[in-house]
Amino acid sequence: MTVRKRVVILISGRGSNMSALIDAAAAPDFPAEIVGVISNRADAKGLGFAAARGVPTRTVLSKGLSRAEHDAAIGRELAGFKAEIVCLAGYLRLLTPEFVATWQGRMINIHPALLPSFKGLDTHARALAAGLRIHGCTVHFVTPEMDDGPIIAQAAVPVLIGDSEATLAARVLDAEHATYPLALRLVAEGRARLEGAATVFHDVEDITRRDRRIVAPVAAATQPDFESLARFTP
Ligand code: GRF
């Protein structure tokens, strides 16, 4: 296998997507290795999980630093890790345009909605309020505008009758944990590349495609089969 890409994950909290990436990268044929995790919060739960899995962690607190100073400090840690790809996974701090430009095409983010709908926070509450019957998640290249970069992969789940914000969030999170490793794999292998303002795909014929329809509403009593309901692009 070709040399695995060196990936650093930026987190601020729970770190379940980070965990999914660490688990995926534990497979010998995964094209990336997670060489470090950086948090901007000392109490981020994900730090403990990463350390327990033997992944080096760093905390770069933002308190008292300007955004530019903080990003510069993160940049030094990334250089120390010799990072080639950066994954944002629940990283709750806006990045400077300079930092984003430095990592253009090499930094990706996961968002808990089917972009370009529901950028920003509280996506599940907003999806419920809008009466959506289908919701999901998106992994995209990071560009200066928040939640706006070219899409790499998405997965959709049904909104069940009677869903609460918590039940919907849990269903989307399951889909996130499958979608982020797929997207990182595509980027690490150079099969999803940022070219201009678009993601261009190469050699993606092996990605499973089954039933291409998602039909909702789905009765709340029916436990959805995430494998068959999650539809990935490409
Ligand atoms: C996820 O829903 C992710 O999509 C969003 O923030 C949440 C982070 O959760 N960007 P976790 O820290 O990965 O568990």
pLDDT digit string (tens) for 39-57? 999 999 999 999 999 999 9
Ligand 1 in reach of 12 Cβ (< 6 A): no
Of 111, 124, 140, 177, catalytic: 111
Give the nearest ligand 1 atom to 11 CA.
Answer: 12
Ligand 1 in reach of 16 Cβ (< 6 A): yes
**pLDDT for the residue 207:** 79
Contact 40, 60 (CB under 8 A): yes
Evaluate if residue 229 carries a pLDDT over 60.
no
Binning pLDDT at 50, 70 and 90, where does residue 23 land?
very high
Burial class for 3, CB neighbours closer than 10 Å (0-12, 13-18, 19+): exposed
Give the nearest ligand 1 atom to 19 CA.
Answer: 13
Q: What is the pTM of this model?
A: 0.92
Ligand 1 in reach of 15 Cβ (< 6 A): yes
Binning pLDDT at 50, 70 and 90, where does residue 73 land?
very high
Q: Token pair for residue 104?
A: 């253009």
Contact 28, 46 (CB under 8 A): no
Domains 1-103 and 112-137+147-234 share a fold: yes
Give, for ligand 1, the residue of 121, 176, 184 to mutate: max count of ligand atoms closer than 8 Å to Cβ: 176
> Domain residues of the chain, as ranges?
1-103, 112-137+147-234
Give the nearest ligand 1 atom to 172 CA.
Answer: 2
Give the nearest ligand 1 atom to 13 CA.
Answer: 12
Q: Token pair for residue 26?
A: 């534990």
Evaluate if residue 203 carries a pLDDT over 50.
yes
Nearest CA to ligand 1 atom 6: 90
CATH class entry, domain 1-103: alpha beta
Q: Token pair for residue 90?
A: 């629940």
Ligand 1 in reach of 14 Cβ (< 6 A): yes
Decide: helix, strand or coil at residue 27: coil
d(CA 31, CA 92): 27
**pLDDT for the residue 216:** 75
Cα–ligand 1 centroid distance for 28 (angstroms): 25
**Fold held by 112-137+147-234:** Rossmann fold (3.40.50)
**pLDDT for the residue 234:** 47
Cα–ligand 1 centroid distance for 89 (angstroms): 6
**pLDDT for the residue 109:** 98
Cα–ligand 1 centroid distance for 29 (angstroms): 25
Active site residue 111: yes
